[in-house]
């Protein structure tokens, strides 16, 4: 067999490997949202082969958020997860190079946790409507206005905002950490819908605290409405409707289950229900489709454009010859202060 023939065979084997996974998933980029085809996988295969070879040669680890494209999460990532799981992985990684297929605040968090490592974000400066909603100066102003309040920031925030905060939370631990806070007054940034959902959860637990919301909303989850939930319920009465706590509270109250990305995936895995409407990002539906091939997912998810800016091509470029702006740099003092807020979160979670 010639060198060319063995390359062709290898590429075809890789395409078959990818298709054995992606074949269960909806290609949300396709016009009719059909399932991934073997031809789609043949396009991915040369890239996934090159990336998987190069990451070993360079001693790099690839972390990918569930919302990344599935050829990334299932084709090249060493770990896929939500913000909390990936921040733990970044802390525990032995590799000196982290390629983070996510958005800026996530890659910044990895850098803050592991300052000695090189962290790259393939999707250059990929933003997030939540992280961009609050500035460092906003937090300084809020602290001056409410000097007794504890500042709790959702992980979807910039390093500078984390540095001004007392403790960080993710959607998987937000309710328990707020409930356990010794403060009676809490500034919660930057998700105003999550702040509403915290108030409802605290009421449910019989806990009295003043929550001072500030910031914006997630441009993916803020589009869901109670009307859509009611219409979905009528159209698919057997379907479980599930959503993320970044959705408006009047949507959350109507859903069958509300939880973090990991909690939603676990719920779908464990419940005997077979039909679902997922009010969240496309990427988690792909993971659910792969894990639950016998279950049906109606088409209600939405796309986070920033997450989808991570591609096989720009991930390969980062491993081959990274552009200077692909490397995440966090100023040392900011990183030190932000790390305190993140470490406070890890300590609280470990108490459980």
Residue ranges binding ligand SF4 (CB under 6 A): 67, 103, 128-130, 156, 218-220, 281, 304, 306-307
Indicate the residue among 155 and 268 with the shorter CB distance to ligand SF4.
155
Q: How far apart are the first and last CA of the chain?
A: 58
Residue 191 Cβ, how far from ligand SF4 at the closest point, in Å?
8
Residue 104 Cβ, how far from ligand SF4 at the closest point, in Å?
9
Q: Where are the alpha helices (DSSP H) in the chain?
A: 3-22, 38-58, 70-73, 83-92, 104-113, 136-145, 159-163, 174-180, 192-205, 226-235, 249-252, 261-270, 282-291, 312-320, 332-351
Indicate the residue among 75 and 245 with the shorter CB distance to ligand SF4.
245
Residue 122 Cβ, how far from ligand SF4 at the closest point, in Å?
15
CB 314 within 8 A of CB 304: no
Indicate the residue among 40 and 281 with the shorter CB distance to ligand SF4.
281
The pair of structure tokens assigned to 137 is 């100066």
Indicate the residue among 18 and 131 with the shorter CB distance to ligand SF4.
131
Residues in Cβ contact with 238 at an 8 Å cutoff, skipping those fewer than 6 apart: 273, 274, 275
Could you tell me the strand order of the sheet in which 296-298 lies?
A: 257-258, 240-243, 275-279, 296-298
Cis preceding linkage at 123, omega within 30: no
Residue 130 Cβ, how far from ligand SF4 at the closest point, in Å?
5
Indicate the residue among 130 and 241 with the shorter CB distance to ligand SF4.
130
d(CA 299, CA 278): 8
Residue 266 Cβ, how far from ligand SF4 at the closest point, in Å?
19
- Look up residue 26 and give its DSSP letter: B
d(CA 198, CA 186): 11
Residue 137 Cβ, how far from ligand SF4 at the closest point, in Å?
21
Indicate the residue among 49 and 119 with the shorter CB distance to ligand SF4.
119
Indicate the residue among 19 and 297 with the shorter CB distance to ligand SF4.
297
d(CA 75, CA 69): 9
What's the Rg (C-alpha) of the chain? 21
The pair of structure tokens assigned to 10 is 């290898």
d(CA 33, CA 262): 24
Indicate the residue among 156 and 164 with the shorter CB distance to ligand SF4.
156
Residue 301 Cβ, how far from ligand SF4 at the closest point, in Å?
11
Residue 128 Cβ, how far from ligand SF4 at the closest point, in Å?
3
């Amino acid at each position: 067999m010639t060198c060319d023939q063995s390359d062709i065979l290898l590429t075809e084997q890789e395409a078959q490997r990818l298709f054995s996974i992606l074949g269960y998933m909806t290609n949300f980029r396709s016009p009719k949202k059909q399932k991934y085809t073997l031809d789609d996988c043949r396009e991915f295969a040369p890239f996934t082969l090159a990336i998987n070879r190069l990451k070993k040669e360079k001693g790099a680890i690839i972390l990918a958020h569930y919302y990344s494209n599935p050829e990334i999460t299932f084709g090249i990532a060493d770990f896929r997860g939500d913000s909390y799981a990936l921040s733990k992985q970044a802390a525990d990684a032995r590799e000196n190079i982290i390629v983070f297929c996510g958005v800026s605040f996530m890659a910044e968090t990895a850098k803050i946790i592991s300052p000695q490592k090189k962290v790259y974000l393939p999707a250059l400066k990929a933003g997030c409507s939540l992280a961009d909603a609050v500035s460092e100066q906003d937090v300084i102003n809020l602290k001056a206005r409410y000097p007794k309040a504890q500042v709790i920031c959702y992980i979807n925030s910039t390093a500078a905002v984390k540095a001004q905060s007392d403790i960080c939370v993710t959607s998987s631990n937000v309710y328990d950490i707020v409930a356990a806070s010794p403060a009676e007054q809490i500034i919660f940034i930057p998700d105003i819908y999550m702040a509403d959902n915290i108030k409802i959860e605290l009421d449910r637990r019989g806990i009295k605290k003043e929550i001072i919301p500030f910031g914006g909303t997630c441009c993916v989850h803020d589009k869901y409405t109670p009307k859509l939930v009611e219409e979905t319920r009528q159209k698919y009465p057997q379907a479980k409707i599930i959503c993320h706590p970044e959705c408006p509270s009047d949507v959350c109250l109507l859903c069958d289950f509300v939880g973090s990305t990991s909690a939603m995936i676990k719920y779908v895995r464990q419940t005997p229900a077979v039909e679902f409407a997922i009010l969240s990002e496309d990427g988690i539906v792909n993971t659910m489709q792969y894990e639950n091939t016998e279950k049906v997912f109606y088409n209600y998810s939405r796309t986070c454009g920033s997450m989808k800016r991570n591609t096989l091509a720009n991930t390969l470029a980062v491993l081959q010859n990274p552009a200077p702006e692909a490397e995440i740099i966090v100023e040392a003092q900011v990183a030190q202060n932000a790390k305190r807020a993140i470490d406070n979160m890890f300590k609280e979670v470990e108490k459980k």
